[in-house]
Amino acid sequence: MAELLEMPTDWTRALAIVAHPDDMEYGAASAVAAWTAEGREVAYLMVSRGEAGIDTLTPAECAPLREAEQIASAAVVGVDQVEFLDHPDGVIEGGVPLRRDLAAAIRRHRPELIVTLNPREHFRPGGWNSADHRAVGEAVLDAAVDAGNRWIFPEQLDGDLEPWPGVRWVALAASPQATHAVDTTETMETGIASLLEHRTYITALTDVDPETYAREFLANFATASGERFGTRYATTFELITLAG
Ligand SMILES: [Zn+2]
């Protein structure tokens, strides 16, 4: 496998845009903890409230629980801005309406770096990625460019918003084609604590003790990534550099 490069460090604001509560916590949050510890600003935008994520709870019961768990989880890694769009969990549609919502958020937050979850067909060979992850990731990549063009979604610019052509990179977490990595040796425990905040979700997902589950899942991936990156633990990203 190719060598993993250091992530760029010449940025101050990142926006993470993912389909569901918990998408950031399966690895990326350990990197977020490293960034916020360095004084960088990171905000989260959830495209859905994850309301279809727990078999035993109706969406109406589930949405507020998952929202609260996501807010608590973000706080653990130093993120205090968590926003939710109300696209329907499980059947998020890519395309222009989603790009419009994401472009508006990007114009408000003005990030240099956007983080999203792997939109490719697989996380690893033999698996299949979810429809929501594929739709959201692709829309994020498109909206990162839309946000800079004043003639795309121009109605958003009638008030205080300005075009934001400043997104320099989109980092795809958990990509099978990772190119870059962040040393998460110092923030692994924070990342585990962040995943553990999704306690209702994890308890419904597995009979394994939640702490054991979170620790083993994150440490296994981070160890394998760290072996490639030359650190004890690492989080990898596929970094897409946008044309200026
Ligand atoms: Zn997800």
pLDDT digits (tens, 9 = 90+) for 216-232: 999 999 999 999 999 99
User: At 194, is the secondary structure helix, strand, or coil?
Assistant: helix
Running DSSP on this structure, what letter comes out for residue 45? E
Using the predicted structure, report yes or no on whether residue 145 has a pLDDT greater than 90.
yes
- What's the gap in Å between 84 CA and the centre of ligand 1? 14
Secondary structure class of 37 (helix, strand, coil) = helix
Given a cut of 90, whether residue 32 has pLDDT beyond it is yes
E-assigned strand segments in 59-142: 82-84, 113-117
SS3 73: helix
Distance of alpha carbon 181 from alpha carbon 30, whole angstroms: 11
- Which DSSP helix (H) or strand (E) runs through 165? none
**Ion ligand 1: residues, Cβ under 5 Å:** 19-20, 23
| pLDDT-above-90 percentage for the chain | 95
- Closest listed residue to residue 109, CA positions, set 87, 132, 82: 82
Phi-psi region of 53 (alpha: psi -120 to 50; beta: other; left: phi over 0): alpha
Q: Please give the pLDDT value at position 244.
A: 61
Candidates 223, 170, 216; CA nearest to 7 is: 170
What's residue 243's pLDDT?
Answer: 76
Give the integer Cα–Cα distance in Å for 17 and 28: 12
C-alpha 199 to ligand 1 mean position (Å)? 15
Confidence of residue 126 (pLDDT cuts 50, 70, 90): confident
Question: Cα separation of 101 and 116, whole Å?
Answer: 15
Average pLDDT over the chain, rounded to an integer: 96
Taking residues 192-199, report their average pLDDT: 97
Q: How far is the CA of 30 from the centre of ligand 1 (A)?
A: 17
Kind of pairing between the strands at 234-241 and 180-183 = antiparallel
77 CA distance to ligand 1 centroid (A)? Answer: 19
The pLDDT tens digits for 147-171 are 999 999 999 999 989 999 999 999 9
Tell me how far the alpha carbon of residue 211 lies from the centroid of ligand 1, in angstroms: 20
Above 70 in pLDDT, residue 206? yes
The closest alpha carbon to 47, from 95, 129, 102, belongs to 102
Task: Give the distance (Å) from ligand 1 centre to CA of residue 154.
Answer: 31
What are phi and psi for residue 161, nearest 5 degrees? -70, 145
Q: Could you tell me the distance, in angstroms and rounded to a whole number, from the CA of residue 131 to the centre of ligand 1? A: 9
